[in-house]
Structure formats: structure tokens, C-alpha cells
């Protein structure tokens, strides 16, 4: 691959200077895989239930667009590895000012799929686009510290920040660098990655072809097709019959034993996906912490986890999974206790119970979880009405319009406790102390200071039962025999496909 100037060591040194964290994770990108030689001309077919709502990350493309496009079709200045480390990508070198407010990036000699050469103006456009008014990108708030972006020359970009940001280069790893002349990207693309979009059939599939003009190392396969399925049974049937070579996430634990017996590879990694019941904390009765805690204590989460995942996964008590440095074991902070639940409801003036609606996407296990919650809450006098909607409807109704009472969702982002520091986020949690701690953590002078501040926020959102964190999903992928190079961790739905081969 093209030489990267400062090299990984230099960027790691710069990251340490800036206080960047490296998350704990399982080592290695793939499980059984690296031993088998594959055919570089073979097309890999990936089965998934996680179809993007559109193809643009700044317009609510969902985690599905990250799974397909990030690192495969589009690239950032930096790359987040499967082990959550920060590596240089389109930034061949990085200089950081002594005050931590100015970052100067030198760019690689890369070319967009349209044939246009990557320039500093494209980077400027991409960063400003990501934090712009129209953007609803998940990490927009974290990158709002960007003050100005200047194209110094064709290959040099200078970014100034309004305050130091200890996670700045980490967050840049999720920002696509796009061609400033590309126009609407909701159904097309123009990236610099090892693959280009060959075909997009909404509701069916996305096909990627190898970019023969790629500036870096060529992929180990001859292209990738993402085939989408509406339910886990259809997805598993596709794997069993050979219609797909692997599945990105297994949501039907009952079938795992069957796949093991049939010789399929079970690839288990580290998960960041939290299944949560999110309240609209702006509206009654969910603006009352006693009501939120009452609902929390009415739910036997251990029973739910066992029913859904049969011993896999784990209970959590906040937005922070064990893989992150600021993790605290808060699984019992809001314990299962129906009597306590009824007491809290009485204190909140809700002794007669009440009715509310949960909007739940029709994907994954959300509808099954909703039925379980309905049964549990009925025991303490709360009536839960279930409204099943599509992913597209969820992004419009819940995420964008914030027109809901409660919702079920699986949040895949890593380091996403910051969402609770944003009162404008869809769930509307608003705690001034949490906002201050999280803001101060970004300006922290050391990793230790950052960690302690985020731990305070972590404890507070749990004490406030800002949401009900039901459980942490297990990270399970299943691949056919002979498939290798599969990334195993579920970090923010990143799924790099260039190393996947099939013997």
C-alpha cells in the first residue's frame, strides 16, 4: 500500500499526545480465517437484515450504511480498526499544535471512483457537510468543535477547533471524505475506497465491484454483494442453502447449534450493540424520573435476555459496554423489583397505572422484546401498546420528528454515551451536570481525567434511568466453511470486506 508519511507509529504518538483512547477489544480481524487461501476473483455474498434507509450517512442512512460503505466505498482521514485502534488512512501525515487546537493533515494521492483526484477542497467540503445544518449524522455533535477548515493547498488541510477535543481523530474515522462535486448521495456514491457501487436495488441488495484504480492494496476478493432479508429465518435459510456465504449478525440464537453441527463457522466477537427502551424524556409521564425507574424495575431483564439469547449477551445498566474504558458495572443499579416499581408509581401519582405506546422497528428482535415488555408492565398496572413501523418510518417519526412516547432500538455506536449530553437528541434527556461532564471530558488534558468525568456521567444517567438498557447483544457472525478474513467485532456496525476470501 502507498506509504503513509508519518506512519502508524507517528500517528499513534500524535494520538497519545492528544489523549486519544484505544478501546479494549478482541485481537485479530477474523476468526478461523487467515489460514485458508482464497480465490481473489470470487464474489462474496453477505447476508444481512440491516439494509440502509438510504446511502448517505448524514441523512439518516442508519447503521446499515456504515456496514456497507464505511471503509469499503468511502474512506476517512483515519480508519477505526476492528480492534478500535486509530490508523491513518487518507491523512498521510498529521501535525497537532501545542495547544491542541490546530490539526494539519497532508493527504494521500488518492482518486475518487469518478476519476477525480482527491484534494483538500474535498476534505473541507466533507467536514463542513458532516457538521452542517442539514446533517443528522450520529457524531455531528462530537465534531461540532470544528471551528474552521482551510484548504492550504491541494494536498494540505488545516482544521481549527473551538476547544481541544481528546477524541477528535477517533471521531474523524467515521467521517466519509466525498467528492465535493458528487451532488445527491442518497442513492449513489463517489468515494475513494477499494470498492465502487455497482448496483443498488432498494429492498433487495447492494453490489460492490472492485475499484481497479484504488490507491491502496487491492481487495482479496472479486467483489461483494449484500443481500437483504426481512426476517432471520429467511436469512438463515439463505446461508444453509449456499445463497449467501456469511451473515453479518445472527439474531436467531436457536439456530446456532444447528449451524455448528453442519460445519459452519461461528465467529464471536466484542459487541457495542445495546438493546434499549428509550423514553421521550420531554413528555409526561417520562419527564418524571420515578416513572422511568418504576418501568425499569418492572422488567425482569435477566429473563428477557435468556429468552432472546439463551445464555449469550449480558446485562448492562447504562449506555457504556464493558469494552469501553469508562465502564462501570451498573447492571443492578435499577433492580428488578415489582414492589419497588409499584411504590415508585404511587409516589409519582400513577398508582392506577397508565397507558403508553412504544414505536418499534419491524427489524431484528424488537417486536419480540416489545411483547415481553407488554407482559411485564401489565403486572404493575401499565398498559403498553405496540406500534410496529419500518426502519424508514422510525427514522422520520422518532429520530427526526421526535414524535413518540417510547421506542425500542438497538444502538450500535461505540462511545455513544455522548448522546445523553445532547438534549436535542431524539430521547431528549436533559441533565446539566451530565452535559458539563461530557463536554469537559472532551477538553480533558489526560486519558485519566477524561475517564473519570465520563464515569460520573455514566453513573448519573443510570441513576436517572434516562433509558432502560435491557441488555448488550452478543456479537455473532456465521460463515460457511472456507470463508476467511471476516471481521469479528461489532464496533459501530463497521464491516470491512476487503480481506474476506472464499476457498
pLDDT tens profile 182-209 = 999 999 999 999 999 999 999 999 999 9
Count the neighbouring beta carbons within 10 Å of the beta carbon of residue 242.
Answer: 9
Do residues 94 and 11 lie in contact, with contact meaning Cβ atoms separated by under 8 Å?
Answer: yes
Q: Which pLDDT band, with edges at 50, 70 and 90, does 83 fall under?
A: confident
For 429-458, the DSSP string reads: ---HHHHHHHHHHHT-SSHHHHHHHHHHHH
Please give the average per-residue pLDDT across 219-228, as a whole number: 98
Which of 30-44, 51-65, 135-149, 169-183 tops mean pLDDT? 169-183
% of the chain at pLDDT higher than 70: 92
Do residues 63 and 412 lie in contact, with contact meaning Cβ atoms separated by under 8 Å?
Answer: yes
pLDDT tens profile 47-71 = 999 999 899 999 876 789 999 999 9
Does 137 have pLDDT greater than 50? Answer: yes
Predicted local distance difference test score (pLDDT) of residue 414:
84
pLDDT tens profile 486-502 = 999 878 889 999 999 99
Predicted local distance difference test score (pLDDT) of residue 147:
98
Per-state percent for the chain, helix, strand, coil, to nearest 5: 30, 20, 50
d(CA 368, CA 375): 11
Give the phi and the psi of residue 306 in degrees, each rounded to 5.
Answer: -65, -40
Q: Which pLDDT band, with edges at 50, 70 and 90, does 38 fall under?
A: low
Please give the average per-residue pLDDT across 281-303, as a whole number: 98
d(CA 156, CA 105): 6
Do residues 210 and 41 lie in contact, with contact meaning Cβ atoms separated by under 8 Å?
Answer: no
Q: Which pLDDT band, with edges at 50, 70 and 90, does 28 fall under?
A: very low
Predicted local distance difference test score (pLDDT) of residue 311:
81
Predicted local distance difference test score (pLDDT) of residue 9:
26
Do residues 220 and 38 lie in contact, with contact meaning Cβ atoms separated by under 8 Å?
Answer: yes
pLDDT tens profile 438-458 = 999 999 989 999 999 999 999
More confident residue, 139 or 331: 331
Which domains can be identified in the chain, with CATH numbers?
7-28+74-188 (3.90.76.10), 31-51+193-269+475-503 (3.40.190.10), 274-472 (3.10.105.10)
Q: Which pLDDT band, with edges at 50, 70 and 90, does 25 fall under?
A: very low
d(CA 18, CA 96): 8
Please give the average per-residue pLDDT across 462-468, as a whole number: 99
Cα-Cα-Cα-Cα dihedral of 311, 276, 134, 424, to 10°? Answer: -150
Amino acid at each position: 500500500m502507498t506509504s503513509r508519511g508519518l506512519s502508524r507509529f507517528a500517528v499513534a504518538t500524535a494520538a497519545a499526545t492528544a489523549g486519544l483512547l484505544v478501546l479494549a477489544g478482541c485481537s485479530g480481524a477474523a476468526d478461523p480465517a487467515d489460514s485458508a487461501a482464497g480465490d481473489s476473483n470470487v464474489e462474496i455474498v453477505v447476508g444481512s437484515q440491516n439494509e440502509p434507509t438510504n446511502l448517505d450517512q448524514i441523512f439518516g442512512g442508519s447503521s446499515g450504511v456504515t456496514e456497507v460503505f464505511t471503509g469499503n466505498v468511502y474512506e476517512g482521514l483515519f480508519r477505526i480498526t476492528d480492534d478500535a485502534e486509530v490508523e491513518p488512512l487518507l491523512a498521510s501525515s498529521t501535525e497537532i499544535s501545542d495547544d491542541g487546537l490546530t490539526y494539519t493533515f497532508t493527504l494521500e494521492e488518492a482518486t475518487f471512483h469518478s476519476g477525480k483526484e482527491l484534494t483538500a477542497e474535498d476534505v473541507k467540503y466533507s467536514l463542513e457537510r458532516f457538521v452542517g445544518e442539514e446533517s443528522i449524522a450520529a457524531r455531528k455533535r462530537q465534531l461540532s468543535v470544528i471551528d474552521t477548515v482551510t484548504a492550504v493547498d491541494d494536498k494540505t488541510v488545516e482544521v481549527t477547533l473551538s476547544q481541544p477535543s481528546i477524541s477528535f481523530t477517533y471521531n474523524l474515522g467515521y467521517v466519509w471524505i466525498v467528492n465535493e462535486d458528487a451532488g445527491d448521495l442518497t442513492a449513489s456514491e463517489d468515494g475513494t475506497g477499494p470498492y465502487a457501487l455497482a448496483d443498488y436495488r432498494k429492498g433487495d441488495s447492494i453490489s460492490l465491484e472492485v475499484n481497479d484504480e484504488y490507491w491502496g492494496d487491492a481487495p482479496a476478493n472479486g467483489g461483494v454483494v449484500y443481500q437483504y432479508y426481512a426476517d432471520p429465518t429467511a436469512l438463515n435459510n439463505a446461508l444453509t442453502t449456499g445463497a449467501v456465504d456469511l451473515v453479518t449478525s445472527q439474531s436467531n440464537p436457536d439456530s446456532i447449534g444447528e449451524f455448528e453441527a453442519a460445519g459452519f463457522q461461528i465467529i464471536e466477537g466484542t459487541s457495542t450493540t445495546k438493546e434499549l427502551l428509550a423514553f421521550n424524556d420531554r413528555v409526561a409521564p417520562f419527564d418524571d424520573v420515578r416513572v422511568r425507574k418504576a418501568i425499569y424495575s418492572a422488567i425482569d431483564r435477566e429473563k428477557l435476555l435468556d429468552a432472546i439469547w439463551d445464555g449469550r449477551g449480558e446485562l448492562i445498566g447504562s449506555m457504556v459496554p464493558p469494552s469501553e474504558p469508562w465502564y462501570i458495572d451498573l447492571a443492578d443499579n435499577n433492580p428488578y423489583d415489582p414492589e419497588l416499581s409499584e411504590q415508585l408509581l404511587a409516589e409519582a401519582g400513577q398508582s392506577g397505572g397508565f397507558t403508553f405506546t412504544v414505536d418499534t422497528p419491524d427489524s431484528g428482535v424488537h417486536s419480540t422484546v416489545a411483547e415481553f415488555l407488554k407482559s411485564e408492565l401489565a403486572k404493575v398496572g401499565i398498559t403498553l401498546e405496540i406500534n410496529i413501523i419500518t426502519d424508514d418510518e422510525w427514522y422520520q417519526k422518532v429520530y427526526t420528528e421526535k414524535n413518540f412516547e417510547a421506542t425500542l432500538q438497538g444502538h450500535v455506536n461505540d462511545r455513544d454515551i455522548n448522546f445523553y449530553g445532547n438534549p436535542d437528541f431524539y430521547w431528549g434527556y436533559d441533565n446539566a451536570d451530565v452535559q458539563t461532564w461530557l463536554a469537559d471530558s472532551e477538553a480533558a488534558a489526560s486519558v485519566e481525567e477524561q475517564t473519570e468525568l465520563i464515569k460520573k456521567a455514566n453513573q448519573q444517567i443510570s441513576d436517572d434511568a434516562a433509558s432502560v438498557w435491557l441488555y448488550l447483544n452478543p456479537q455473532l457472525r456465521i460463515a460457511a466453511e472456507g470463508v476467511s478474513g471476516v471481521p469479528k467485532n461489532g464496533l459501530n456496525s463497521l464491516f470491512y470486506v476487503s480481506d474476506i476470501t472464499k476457498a
